[in-house]
Amino acid sequence: MGARNVTRTIIVETPSKPGNLGKVTTAIGLFGGDIGEIKTRQIGPYSTVRDITVQCESEEQLETAIAAVEQLGEGIHVRAVSDDVLHAHEGGKIHMSSRFDIRSIDDLRKVYTPGVANVCRAIEEDPSLAQYYTSIGNTVAIITDGTAILGLGNIGPLAGMPVMEGKAALFDRLAGISGIPILLDTSDPDEVVTTVKRISKGFGGILLEDIGSPHCFEIEERLIEELDIPVMHDDQHGTAVVTLAAVMSACRSAGVNLKEAVVGQIGLGAAGLAICRMFMAYGVKEMVGVDRQPAALDRLAMYGGTPAHSLEEIMEKCDIVIATTGVPNLIKPEWVREGQVILALSNPKPEIEPDEAIKAGALFAADGRSVNNVLGFPGIFRGALNAGAKRITHDMLVAAATAISNHTKPGQLVPHPLDLKAHQIVAEAVEMAVMKEE
């Protein structure tokens, strides 16, 4: 199981003099705290109060960082520590609501009985009308078995529900799609496939989420083959889309021809293998990968990639290196080759820190905080649903990645994940890709 990330808001009071905020953030950073948002609560003639969001790998690390701030002295105090994340989840993050205002008996007759019977009979006679007269065409099932929840590992579907609710909230806010979490108390591929097929009539698409490797490959492939609605495993293809977009942006900044470059993938789990397939679909001629599991190397070879013998071989041979292993500091600085582009995407700690990679000779380096797969799945499904697509293809995914990269401002890897225009552009690109395939 991965490290348990702890996020808290530290309320800090400092004297109103330049440099004190820097002392606080330095103290937190020295003990491994990752600083997020900083908000100023109050500015007075003598002191300033700020909310500083801090993420640590454990409660112990957080307590050490807080103690370091307290020990600064010189009028610097930690007033309180707030768990805003838990507060935000009280009662859940989503709620089913009616799009129709029901205030009278006449309203009731329209939305329920007896009027609804006419709509039922219309759909019975022509099932395609369900796309028009119900919410099915704008609803996606978000399905998990809880075996690969974020960096937490196999913690079960119930503990994964906050993630599924988060996906549903993002679907709604970023793409106007109704996402419905479905928690499966089984990881057996036959049972998962059978269950999803039996409930699929009520949905316009299926998003598989946080399902572990290797059974995630079989589940997705079988559902794509056996259903006539879009199916996508976000940990595979959503991650791959945004990774491709980020590398396209990095290559544009570095003056590297991505299609002619040798690309190396370290870690061939769900995300890593999908990244390889995505890059090959884009047109990368030589895709090399490495993994500790022989079966993962066999899968890469099956899809047309080249297995490597070692991590050192990847670092020596490849112009662009992507890592998704979950192992901090896996890449040693002395392995970095002059002029490489390196994306070490594991969170919360990358395989190599970007500044270390640059210092060792990399032309460009970034970590997982710069690459957020939220940019992918809402627009991909919006475009697929708008176009009435039966499945999500690599051409559609490459179109999404290209749209993300083209919308990226100079100096960035990808757009801000809450940039609504970016999600709209992704949806339009996917819809156009569907039209080209028809």
Which pLDDT score, from 0 to 100, does residue 423 have? 98
d(C-alpha 142, C-alpha 196), whole Å: 10
- What CA–CA distances, in Å, run from 134 to 128, 140, 170, 245? 10, 13, 21, 35
Over the stretch 117-135, which tens digit does the pLDDT of each residue have?
999 999 999 999 999 999 9
Average pLDDT over residues 179-188: 97
Over the stretch 187-222, which tens digit does the pLDDT of each residue have?
999 999 999 999 999 999 999 999 998 999 999 999
Over the stretch 265-306, which tens digit does the pLDDT of each residue have?
999 999 999 999 999 999 999 999 999 999 999 999 999 999
Asked if residue 176 has pLDDT above 90, the reply is: yes
Average pLDDT over residues 308-334: 95
- 114 or 182, which is more confident: 182
Average pLDDT over residues 245-272: 93
The catalytic site residues sit at 112, 167
pLDDT band at 2; cut points 50, 70, 90: very low
Average pLDDT over residues 26-52: 90
Mean pLDDT computed over every residue of the chain: 93
- Dihedral (Cα; 403, 405, 409, 413), 10-degree rounding: 150
Asked if residue 260 has pLDDT above 70, the reply is: yes
- Window from 79-83, 313-317, 350-354 with minimum mean pLDDT: 79-83
Asked if residue 413 has pLDDT above 60, the reply is: yes
Helices 394-406 and 377-387, interaxial angle, to 10°? 120
- How many Cβ atoms sit within 10 Å of the Cβ of residue 350? 26
